């Protein structure tokens, strides 16, 4: 599920919920060659993760093909559409001629009013009779008044030769039958709107209100793609972003309410309107996303964060027992205040849930050289004699060792000690982490680190 699709889903959801309407979910799967159940599952899972629900069952457009064909033949009977018997060779010649003459459309409408006898053995397509003169106008809620000349619209196909509907026909019939009043979608569909309105008018149906959303661009102004980083909702979930943060960020990606940046979902449901959507494309800004996510990390419930982090550990094949969970919970306020996302939080806290033997990153190994091990050994001898293993007592001890052995430079004590206990060169407050781990665990970890040769 592309991030642009996710934003479109969010805008539809907010608009429907604010106005007491319904958000409908339809899979437009008439092109069976391109249909993928995995893609459908990704969309469903993406919406679930974002916390966006819909009304009624998911509708398969393919399952309504008979209804679409019925409308196509009804249009033929009404003289609003016609059977076209052009062969592939004839159509190719028309394309070549149009290319030479610089025409946008290529079909010459030869069967539009033809009285010729249809050739044998050729299965016809059904084409709509598009207007041939004047301007076509769409009054868009975002783009404003948009005009094209009728000459730019051809008599497009609404029913293929095999009897299957095209997207243009199917989407109009389904929108009408499902009672759709507002269509909020990407502006890459704006050209389709002019063609779809031809079908609405031919059937005498009410045309819905349209709101076409500008594209989402990468930070460099080019169309958002893999080279910019993650482009799908699932990737952002796996990168450790919270759904409420993604909702907030996607909301502000093309929609504004004054200078407000942090807008929670409850507030968005009160404020969201189509008038706040900008006409210009939006640039995806990862720094802003991280800022927004960090805000929601700080607000998140500690138990929920613990559960989410433990889910990440399962993916890393790290089993978390009750002791590990309690350690995480006890330091979650600090952990979440440091983290931009769940992955960073999990990295920072991993030493709480690991047991001996554990690995040491390269920077930690560098700290545990001969000099580093010496100072860790000094601290270990003092730690074993402590009767009170609390953060304040541990801080006093570490400062005392720094004053006596490292000219008061506390970093030269804490850095190798951190490397020994956590296996990492960075961590949350070390003395508080040591208090949580407990005296026997800390001593065991130090002994393990001192026994290692790097």
Catalytic residue chosen out of the listed positions 100, 123, 226, 452: 226
Decide: helix, strand or coil at residue 128: strand
Q: What is the DSSP letter of 387?
A: S
Sequence-separated (6 or more) residues with CB below 8 Å from residue 224: 3, 4, 215, 216, 217, 218, 231, 284
Are 432 and 442 a contacting pair, CB within 8 Å? no
- Of residues 262, 269, 231, 264, the one with CA closest to residue 5: 231
DSSP assignment of 130-168: ---SSEEEEEETTTEEEEEEGGG----EEE-TTSPBPHH
Is residue 340 flagged as an active site residue? no
C-alpha span between 433 and 451 (Å, rounded): 22
C-alpha span between 240 and 293 (Å, rounded): 9
Are 376 and 416 a contacting pair, CB within 8 Å? yes
CA distances 344 to 70, 88, 348, Å, are 56, 57, 6
Are 389 and 438 a contacting pair, CB within 8 Å? yes
CA distances 431 to 299, 332, 385, 405, Å, are 25, 15, 16, 19
Decide: helix, strand or coil at residue 122: coil
DSSP assignment of 278-289: -SSPEEP-HHHH
C-alpha span between 122 and 85 (Å, rounded): 6
Helices (H) and strands (E) in the chain, counts: 20, 11
Sequence-separated (6 or more) residues with CB below 8 Å from residue 395: 431
Catalytic residues: 226
């Amino acid at each position: 599920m592309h991030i642009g699709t996710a934003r479109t889903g969010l805008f539809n959801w907010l608009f429907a919920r604010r106005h007491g309407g319904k958000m409908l979910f339809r899979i437009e799967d008439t092109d069976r060659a391109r249909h993928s159940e995995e893609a459908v599952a990704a969309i469903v899972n993406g919406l679930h993760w974002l916390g966006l629900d819909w009304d009624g069952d998911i509708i398969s457009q393919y399952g309504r093909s008979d209804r679409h064909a019925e409308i196509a033949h009804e249009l033929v009977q009404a003289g609003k559409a016609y059977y076209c018997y052009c062969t592939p060779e004839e159509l190719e010649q028309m394309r070549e001629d149009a290319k030479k003459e610089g025409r946008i459309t290529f079909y010459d409408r030869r069967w539009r009013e033809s009285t010729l006898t249809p050739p044998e053995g050729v299965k016809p397509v059904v084409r709509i009779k598009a207007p041939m003169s004047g301007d076509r106008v769409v009054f868009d809620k975002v783009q404003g008044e948009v005009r094209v000349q009728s000459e730019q619209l051809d008599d497009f196909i609404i029913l293929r030769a095999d009897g299957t509907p095209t997207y243009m026909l199917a989407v109009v019939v389904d929108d009408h039958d499902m009672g759709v009043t507002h269509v909020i979608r990407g502006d890459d569909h704006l050209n389709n709107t002019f063609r779809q309105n031809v079908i609405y008018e031919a059937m005498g149906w009410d045309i819905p209100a349209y709101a076409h959303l500008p594209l989402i661009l990468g930070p460099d102004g080019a169309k958002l793609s893999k080279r910019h980083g993650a482009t799908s909702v699932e990737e952002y979930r796996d990168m450790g972003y919270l759904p409420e943060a993604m909702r907030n960020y996607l909301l502000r990606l093309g929609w504004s309410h004054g200078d407000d940046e942090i807008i929670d979902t409850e507030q968005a449901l009160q404020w969201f309107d189509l008038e706040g959507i900008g006409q210009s494309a939006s640039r995806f800004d990862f720094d802003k996303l991280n800022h927004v996510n960090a805000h929601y990390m700080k607000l998140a419930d500690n138990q929920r964060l613990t559960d989410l982090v433990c889910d990440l550990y399962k993916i890393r094949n790290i089993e978390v027992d009750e002791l590990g969970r309690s350690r995480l919970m006890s330091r979650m306020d600090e952990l979440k205040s440091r983290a931009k996302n769940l992955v960073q939080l999990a990295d920072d806290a991993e030493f709480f849930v690991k047991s001996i033997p554990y690995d040491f990153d390269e920077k930690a190994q560098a700290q545990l050289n001969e000099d580093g091990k010496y100072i860790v050994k000094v601290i270990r001898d003092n730690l074993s004699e402590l009767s009170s293993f609390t953060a304040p007592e541990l801080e006093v001890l570490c400062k005392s060792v720094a004053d006596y052995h490292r000219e008061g430079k506390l970093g030269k004590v804490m850095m190798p000690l951190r490397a020994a206990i956590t296996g990492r060169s960075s961590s949350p407050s070390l003395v508080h982490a040591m208090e949580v781990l407990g005296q026997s665990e800390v001593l065991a970890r130090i002994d393990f680190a001192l026994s290692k040769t790097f």
